[in-house]
Amino acid sequence: MPDLSAFAITRRWPAAHPGRLQLYSLPTPNGVKVSIMLEEIGLPYEPHLVDITRNESWTPEFLSLNPNGKIPAIIDPDGPGGAPLGLFESGAILVYLADKTGKLMPADPARRYETLQWVFFQMAAVGPMFGQVGYFHKFAGREIADKRPLERYRDESRRLLGVLETRLDGRPWIMGDDYSIADISLLGWVRNLIGFYGARELVAFDTLSRVPAWLERGLARPAVQRGLEIPKRT
């Protein structure tokens, strides 16, 4: 049985099944990337809910695994060379799990890098911009009298949705016929933008055709439906 005692996070969130991959997360747009991925690839794992509304990601135990204090994070008891590996950053975790299992990442080197560029597109552009729309449209930022910040992030989010709309021309998925980690990285954020953030009209989502159809296809996948609810909120 793997020994995970060297990871301080296991003292706050003990592993009932230390032989399984340990997931520390919450069903946010970033968190569900990893739970969806794990459901898609069928790798056994044990989820632990880290309640960011109670600042649990800023506890010493969580910070010992991710010093940036953000979910998700994982411990793989069977990491490279058979040694346990702790990992944070959702994009890095997606790539790691794809490489570990040989799933949802093209084997061809050129297509692999093409897939990675879309994952990086999500990490560098979509996540930060959509998140700012959420802040200025739904949360405390909406009380700011100066609406220029909201307008800036609204316009950039519209532009990014346009990039996706163009990419999906003639393609069911970001990489064509092959569903991949590129889709997984984006699904939760697009869903959140028009759902939880309530920005559907703000970003003119219904003027698009390919992105809504892609989102519908993605959300219809059973693994996606399961992953969106993991870890279960208490």
CATH class, domain 109-221, is mainly alpha
At residue 96, the pLDDT reads 98
Q: Which two tokens mark 97?
A: 């799990």
Q: Which residues of the chain have pLDDT under 70?
A: none
Give SS3 for 122: helix
Angle between helix 90-101 and helix 181-194 axes, rounded to 10 deg: 140
At residue 219, the pLDDT reads 98
Mention every residue, 6+ apart, whose C-beta is less than 8 A from residue 50. Answer: 13, 24, 25, 26, 56, 57, 62, 71
Cα–Cα nearest to 71, from 19, 128, 38, 29: 29
Phi, psi of 46 (to 5 degrees): -120, 115
Complete edge-to-edge strand list for the sheet that includes strand 73-76:
45-49, 21-25, 73-76, 85-88
Domain coordinates in residue numbering, the chain = 9-103, 109-221
At residue 70, the pLDDT reads 98
At residue 2, the pLDDT reads 84
Mention every residue, 6+ apart, whose C-beta is less than 8 A from residue 5. Answer: none
Q: Which two tokens mark 110?
A: 């050129």
* Dihedral angle computed from the Cα positions of residues 43, 44, 49 and 55, in that order, rounded to the nearest 10 degrees: -60
The pTM (predicted TM-score) of the whole model is: 0.96
At residue 1, the pLDDT reads 76
At residue 234, the pLDDT reads 72
At residue 43, the pLDDT reads 97
At residue 68, the pLDDT reads 98
Cα–Cα nearest to 121, from 100, 91, 87: 91
Beta strands in the chain (DSSP E): 21-25, 45-49, 73-76, 85-88
- Are domains 9-103 and 109-221 of this chain identical in fold? no
Output the CATH code of domain 9-103: 3.40.30.10
